[in-house]
Structure formats: C-alpha cells, structure tokens
Amino acid sequence: MEKQPNSRTCFLCGRQNDVGLKLSWYNDLEAQQIRAEVTIPEHFNGYPGFVHGGIVAALLDETAGRALLLGGGYDDLMVTLKLEVRYRQPTPTDQPLTLIGWVINRSASRARVAAQVLLADGTITAEGQAIVVRPPEEFLRRWEAEKQYWHVYDD
C-alpha cells in the first residue's frame, strides 16, 4: 500500500508535533479505502481506559478527509464543513485500533466522505461522515508556507 504524506505540525500526522499522534495513512487502491493503525495513549482519555470523544472525532475527521487523497492528488485538500459522529461503544486507550476512510461521492468543490474506528477484532467503536469543501483563499495562502513539509516521511 502507498503511504500518504504527513505534515510538520498537525495534531494527528505532524512529525514535529511533540504532543501529536504521528499517524500514517496508507492507500488501499483495491478496496478504495485508506487505512491507518494507531494505539491511543492513556493521556488522551476522557474516562479512565477510554479515548476522549473529541480525539475519536478528530480521528474520524482526518481519516474521512484523507480518503480524498486516495488517487494520489496529495495537494487536492479540502476542509470539513460538517462532521457527524456516531459513537457505537467506548473506544479503549492502549489497544491497537484501525482507521478506515472512503469517499461516498465527490464533485470539484465538495465531497461526502466517511470513516470508521475499529478494534483488532473488527468491532466498530465509532463511525462518521463529513461534508468537505474547497478551503477559503486565506487557508491556501497559509498552506503555501507549509507545503515544503507535506511529504512522505520514512517510518
């Protein structure tokens, strides 16, 4: 599977973010999905032993949005307009999780994307759908300075 780029400071993928999760996503072209593996440390809990719901939402948001990069258009970024999350059961900390994302439909200016968080046995702990849109011009201006850090890093 082809690895997607990472950034410098993003909470989820940033390689230079000391408090971030430093995740890596991979394109599964055969399944038309993206995937990531992660174990969330205890210090990101809401209740003892369980990942804070905001962290779960962030995992779903990023994974769903990155599904747009499946075809390799790594500069074809969009931003979240709306995110709907369904928490099916508590997501445990300190256990391996799989994140899966895919595109439901897409146009030139917006898309509907989805993601799931799964336990090692395949149980879905949370799922979400998002509407993502082209970012405003100010976003793109700020992104220009960061583009040099947006690339595939070695594991």
Task: Tally Cβ neighbours within 10 Å of residue 114.
Answer: 19
**pLDDT single digits (tens) 109-141:** 999 999 999 999 999 999 999 999 999 988 888
Residue 77 belongs to what H/E stretch? none
Average pLDDT, the chain: 95
* Among candidate residues 76, 90, 71, 85, the one with its CA nearest the CA of residue 114: 85
Q: Tokens 């390799």, residue?
A: 72
Task: Give the model's pLDDT for residue 146.
Answer: 87
pTM: 0.95
Task: Give the model's pLDDT for residue 88.
Answer: 98
The H-assigned helical ranges of the chain are 53-66, 137-146
User: What are the domain boundaries of the chain?
Assistant: 29-67+76-146
Task: Give the model's pLDDT for residue 145.
Answer: 86
Number of H helices, E strands in the chain: 2, 7
Average pLDDT over residues 60-69: 97
The topology under which CATH files domain 29-67+76-146 is Thiol Ester Dehydrase; Chain A (3.10.129)
Q: Tokens 């300075």, residue?
A: 145
Residue 155 has pLDDT above 80, yes or no: no
**pLDDT single digits (tens) 68-107:** 999 888 887 899 999 999 999 999 999 999 999 999 999 9
Residue 13 has pLDDT above 90, yes or no: yes
